[in-house]
Amino acid sequence: MTVLADVLVGLVAALHVGFLVLEMFLFTTPRGRAVFGTTAEQSATMATLAANQGLYNGFLATGLVWGLVASDPTGFQFRLAFLLFVVVAGVYGAATVSRRILVTQALPAVLALAAVLAAH
């Protein structure tokens, strides 16, 4: 169960690195505009806000990776805390932006959290 938990935590971290790249570097590109459903003008106006949001996603990924490499109890505490942060961010994003965020952000974190708790 520990291997599954680590794989799921790694997947959530990788997703957040992907979100960072999308929001910080690709937001104004055709790919970024397609993901977020914005026009070129809208994405140009919102680029700084998106980059800030991407930075926070990078912080989430960093905490999850730290949780994977740190020895317990610190590693477990980091995995638990940062997965909970991701779940809260995903639920808030789903409530305020798009329900799709429940599937892309919150659900993977909930599955990883369940696996981490089961393996502990």
Contact (CB, 8 A) for 26 and 32: yes
Strand ranges inside the chain, DSSP E? none
Pick left, alpha or beta for residue 115 (phi over 0 → left; psi -120 to 50 → alpha; otherwise beta).
alpha
Of the chain, the percentage scoring pLDDT greater than 90 comes to: 98
> Cα–Cα distance between 32 and 42 in angstroms, integer?
11
pLDDT in tens, 52-77: 999 999 999 999 999 999 999 999 99
- Over residues 36-56, mean pLDDT: 96
> Cα–Cα distance between 83 and 33 in angstroms, integer?
28
In the 8-state DSSP scheme, what is residue 70? Answer: S
The pLDDT of residue 1: 76
The verdict on pTM exceeding 0.85 is yes
> Cα–Cα distance between 106 and 24 in angstroms, integer?
21
